[in-house]
Amino acid sequence: MQFASFELADPVYEAFGFRFSLQTTTLENLYGLDPERVRVRETSDGFSLSSDRLSWAGQQQRAEGALGIELRREPGGALRAKLRARAPTPIRTLKLLLRDLELPLAVHRPGGGEPTRVAEHGELLVYPTLVPAPLACIRCGDERLGLRAEDREVRPKRFAVYAERVGPLAGRGAIELIHEEAASRFGSEVETPDWVIGRGQSPDALERAHLDFAEDALGLTPWESRTDVPAWARELRLVATLHGMHFTGRVFLGYAQMLEILRFLAARLPGRHILAYLPGWEGRYYWQYGNYRPEPRLGGPEGFAALCEGARTLGVHVMPMFGANCANVWLPAARDLPTEAVLTSATGNRFHGNQPDWDLARAHDTGWQAWMNPGHPAWRERLAGSIEGLAERYGFEAVFLDTVHAWTNDPHHPVTDGIRALVERLRRSLPGVLLAAEADYDALLPLFPLFQRPWWTRAAPWTARYVRRFGHLCEGEPRGLTGVHEAGLHRSDAWRPEAGTLATVAFQDGTLEACRDALARLLEELAGS
């Protein structure tokens, strides 16, 4: 995080045992309250504060506008806060700063364990890109604060946690609760959803309180009650990741080899329990994104049809991978997509997403790899039409949508709304087909019942109430090889089933030959479970 090299001189107010300040950022500057124009009103369970003028440049300047907050104490002791602002230029964020907090500061991580102490440079928790729900549990000295936002939309929330550097509160802790408006609605007036602040709240209690809200607001449904899970999907015990072609064009498994592996598996575990996951089935991994068809070097349309038919005969369910929001715009099939379909930041920067070193140039320069917004009708139509046509021709029973968790506050189309529209269309056009996706945040959980677990972090345990998971495509190869994935080598225990997570075994060339005995033992265990 960065900080100002001077004292911002935001006035500090007190209510219900907290000391706080307010700020707002527009698309051109940072503003605070003008202390000369602040009015305060207090009641036994409420506190409101407002200023009809803004300050900037550390109180050196004044500007037209307004900024205020309403605080309300609930019967259980939690506080609800709502901020409002008006400015002469479009407003991006409203910020509540909790100040004069005890040190040390530490962040409670999902899944328990000791909280992680906040380093000197501070810590920034960002929803929906880094944390799956707009909530944070922070320890301040011996006190624990539970913080969350009750928003029915997917709009950015940020929790900035640090020790102040300058001014009279230097050396004391601060937490910023930041709400960013949807970029498509930036305007001169903004109101936040409710922030809820609780003292002494455990991480588990914080999550339960938030899920009580989210189940209604976002439509979260427990796994057992979901209606978008085909009956066969509830019988799955194993995901077999069958790597097709690497970015460089290296063939790992052709379609005929994939089918041979499925025959080996189905001879030891009934096929109805197996989901065959196909990354790189369409050709050069990622390079071919946006132009989906069976790859000639893997066996072409006839070979892919034989794979799908052979899997059906075995009772195995086939799930090809598709990029939900990524395309190679150097390919003729994707070159005509409008530039407005590319994901951009709130202020118009092109979103680059991950930029793997596919060609080992050590440059991480993937200009051909454009990140598309599923909210844009042209991209959504192109992707949905491609999936529908292939599913109708080859009859596969599941679809995997890669990188759905990639998100920006795009000013052209809300990203999550676009993913929802894509899912709703595919549910209508492909009834009974299982829709799965990569990583998640809370608003994606109602859309996909099955997720590939993130290999770079641990999924929040509370999500297991709503979805099931399987190992990431870079996991599960007994020797640790990652197939089409850019890591190259990544050892994991993905082929051991866990509660809520399916056993996952990955295959590339040589896997079956080198690991046949170990795989047979695993399949025997799964068959007996």
Which tens digit of pLDDT belongs to each residue from 428-482? 999 999 999 999 999 999 999 999 999 888 889 999 999 999 999 999 999 999 9
Q: Which fold has domain 13-217?
A: Beta-galactosidase; Chain A, domain 5 (2.70.98)
Which tens digit of pLDDT belongs to each residue from 386-397? 999 999 999 999
Look at strands 501-507 and 468-470 and give their pairing: parallel
Q: 241: pLDDT confidence band, cut at 50, 70 and 90?
A: very high
Query: Is the predicted pLDDT of residue 503 greater than 90, yes or no?
Result: yes
Residues of the chain within CATH 3.20.20.70 domain(s) are 241-528
Amino acid at 284: R
Residues of the chain within CATH 2.70.98 domain(s) are 13-217
Q: Which fold has domain 241-528?
A: TIM Barrel (3.20.20)
Q: What is the mean pLDDT of residues 87-100?
A: 98
Cβ(503)–Cβ(526) under 8 Å?
A: yes
Query: Is the predicted pLDDT of residue 379 greater than 80, yes or no?
Result: yes
Q: How far apart are CA 341 and CA 328, in angstroms?
A: 13
C-alpha distances in Å from residue 432, one per residue of 142, 192, 397, 427: 52, 39, 7, 8
b/e burial code for range 185-223 (CB count within 10 A of at least 16 → b): ebeeebebbbbbbbeebebeebbebbbebbeebbebbee
Tokens 């068809």 belong to: 293
Q: What is the mean pLDDT of residues 72-99?
A: 96
The pTM of this model reads 0.95
Which tens digit of pLDDT belongs to each residue from 381-420? 999 999 999 999 999 999 999 999 999 999 999 999 999 9
Phi-psi region of 223 (alpha: psi -120 to 50; beta: other; left: phi over 0): alpha
**Omega within 30 of 0 (cis) for the link into 128:** yes
Strand, coil or helix: what is 262?
helix
Which tens digit of pLDDT belongs to each residue from 274-299? 999 999 999 999 999 999 999 999 99
In the chain, pLDDT over 90 holds for what percent of residues? Answer: 92
